Amino acid sequence: MAIDNGKSKGVLVDLTRCIGCRGCQVACKSWNERSVKPTVMYGNFTNPPKLNSECYTNIRYVEWETDKGPVWQFVKSQCMHCKDPACVSACPASALIKTPEGPVTYYYEKCLGCRYCMMACPFHIPKYEWEKTVFPFPWVRKCTFCSDRIADGKTPACIKVCPTNVMFFGPLDEVKQEAEKRLKENPGKYVNHIYGKNEAGGTAWMYLSAVPFAQLGFDVDIPAKPHPDYTWSMLREIPYKVGVLVVGLSLIAAFRNRGSSEQGSDTTHGKEK
């Protein structure tokens, strides 16, 4: 269930303000004490190319041609910290927990390594430490929303270092109000959509953009219904479907056994003659 107690924090990411400095990316890696992985340049300045077990947030460089020349747009990616997280619902060991303050936190000591959270996440955020094959055991990794800093009354590291105030941090209700206010007061500046306000039932991180979100690589087909609702609606049908399957298989078995019995009876009768 989604937690709504007035304590939950959120973030508005205004992509029109991002200059692609990657200060947030460096601050995140530093605060979480993550190492680096070898990368290869492939004609795009995004580095690493996508989130991984050592990179909880990164800046994607999106370039396209216009009549006036090439245009850049920078997109910050990290865990969206859903209000009703699919990853939490899918985890059989409660290794992922939605805290009252907003972050979806991970407890490695409970993790079974099943990676159901990776399959459940509609935003494809959790990453696995595939490179670790011996102790310490591989775990799932993702943005923590700096839950330790938030619990201490501090601002998340990525937001703290941003030089252009790309991110507005505060209570979730205030973040929504700020997003709606900017849309209303700046007609024509943004596309008329607050990404994350409704996607997957709503997320703690929301976006405003001057460019259509699909053009920036966002998944715009995520339904508004919280994903755990789909999970439980399917689970509720399992007893019924299993029952139907058992009855069906029993009938088939009975029919086949009946045919075998009749054939055996005929054979035996023939021998007696």
**DSSP state at residue 137:** P
pLDDT computed for residue 271 by the predictor: 46
pLDDT computed for residue 64 by the predictor: 85
pLDDT computed for residue 212 by the predictor: 96
pTM surpassing 0.85?
no
pLDDT computed for residue 257 by the predictor: 66
pLDDT computed for residue 67 by the predictor: 85
* Angstrom distances, CA of residue 36 to CA of 51, 54, 60, 259: 12, 6, 17, 67
pLDDT computed for residue 39 by the predictor: 84
pLDDT computed for residue 238 by the predictor: 46
Maximum separation of any 2 CA atoms in the chain, in Å: 101
Q: Determine the Cα–Cα distance for residues 86 and 121; give it in Å rounded to an integer.
A: 6
Residue 222 structure tokens: 């995520």
Q: Are 129 and 141 in contact (CB under 8 A)?
A: yes
Q: Determine the Cα–Cα distance for residues 60 and 141; give it in Å rounded to an integer.
A: 19
pLDDT computed for residue 188 by the predictor: 94
**Which amino acid is residue 51, in one-letter code?**
L
Q: From first to last of its 273 residues, what are the pLDDT tens digits of the chain?
A: 455 567 899 999 999 999 999 999 999 999 999 998 888 878 888 999 999 999 999 999 999 888 888 889 999 999 999 999 999 999 999 999 999 999 999 999 999 999 999 999 999 999 999 888 766 688 999 999 999 999 999 999 999 999 999 999 999 999 999 999 999 999 999 999 999 999 999 999 999 999 999 999 999 999 999 877 665 554 445 454 555 556 666 676 666 666 555 555 555 454 444
pLDDT computed for residue 12 by the predictor: 98
SS3 (DSSP) at 169? strand
**Interstrand relation of 58-66 and 69-77 (parallel, antiparallel or unpaired):** antiparallel
* Angstrom distances, CA of residue 117 to CA of 80, 88, 142, 261: 14, 7, 11, 50
* Angstrom distances, CA of residue 232 to CA of 155, 226, 229: 35, 11, 5
**DSSP state at residue 221:** T
Find residue 14's DSSP bridge partners.
Answer: 208
pLDDT computed for residue 183 by the predictor: 97
What distance lies between CA 117 and its chain's CA centroid?
A: 8
**Which amino acid is residue 207, in one-letter code?**
Y
